[in-house]
């Protein structure tokens, strides 16, 4: 385990974090899917996984700290993107789960990451920012929102976080331990 990972885990323990939530695009993956990703781009997308995300997720699971992905990629985008690009696309939880099983070949890791793919504009009356996502995640893991921490590259998601804690990620480099430990 790297020094950065050790420091990151120590900070989580000190703050009694129970759930770590990562945005997918430009955070867990150092590339943007644009909501729906063409199948032909999928391999390149997965190769851009953040090294720190890849390192920390198995340790979080071993330490019984829950892990989730909160993304604006919504399964409702898949059909329109497939028609637009004239090739199959992945979107929403389908994209998240396919990405997880690709970057974590040990399926026992990928299967323990909970995903919420939801784009508020597709759902009337839906909560904005990542508020809907975190509600679903805290409900799924049966924890308070205060027990969750979000890492996201979109400033509005970080600034409009409600009861949970949120940290900004530099979208040009993706998630890094230093986003939380400095």
The domains located in the chain, with CATH, are 17-181 (3.40.50.1000)
| Spacing of C-alpha 150 from chain mean position | 8
Provide mean pLDDT across the span 151-164. Answer: 88
Q: So what's the pLDDT on residue 75?
A: 83
The structure's pTM equals: 0.94
Provide mean pLDDT across the span 39-49. Answer: 96
Angle between helices 51-62 and 3-14 (to 10 degrees): 50
If we measure between CA atoms, which residue out of 133, 181, 128 comes closest to residue 10? 181
Q: How confident is the model at residue 56 (pLDDT cuts 50, 70, 90)?
A: very high
Provide mean pLDDT across the span 39-64. Answer: 97
Contact indicator for 109, 61 with CB cutoff of 8 Å:
yes
Provide mean pLDDT across the span 131-144. Answer: 95
Q: Residue 125, SS3?
A: coil
Q: Residue 59, SS3?
A: helix
The partner residues of 49 in beta bridges, in order of sequence, read 29
Q: So what's the pLDDT on residue 163?
A: 87
Secondary structure element (H or E) that encloses residue 91, with its range:
strand 89-91
Q: Are strands 113-117 and 36-38 parallel, antiparallel or unpaired?
A: unpaired
């Amino acid at each position: 385990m790297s020094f950065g990972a050790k420091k990151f885990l120590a900070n989580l323990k000190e703050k009694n974090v129970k759930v770590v939530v990562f945005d997918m695009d430009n955070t867990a993956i150092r590339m943007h899917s644009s909501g729906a990703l063409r199948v032909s781009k999928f391999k390149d997308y997965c190769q851009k996984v953040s090294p720190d995300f890849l390192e920390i997720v198995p340790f979080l699971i071993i330490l019984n700290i829950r892990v989730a992905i909160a993304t604006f990629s919504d399964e409702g985008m898949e059909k329109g993107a497939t028609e637009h690009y004239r090739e199959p696309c992945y979107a929403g939880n389908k994209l998240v789960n396919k990405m997880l099983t690709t970057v974590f070949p040990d399926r026992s890791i990928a299967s323990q990451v909970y995903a919420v793919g939801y784009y508020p504009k597709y759902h009337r009356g839906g909560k904005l920012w990542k508020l809907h996502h975190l509600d679903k995640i805290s409900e799924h893991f049966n924890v308070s929102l205060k027990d969750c921490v979000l890492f996201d590259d979109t400033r509005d998601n970080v600034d409009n976080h409600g009861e949970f804690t949120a940290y900004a990620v530099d979208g040009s480099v993706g998630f890094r331990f230093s986003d939380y430990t400095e």
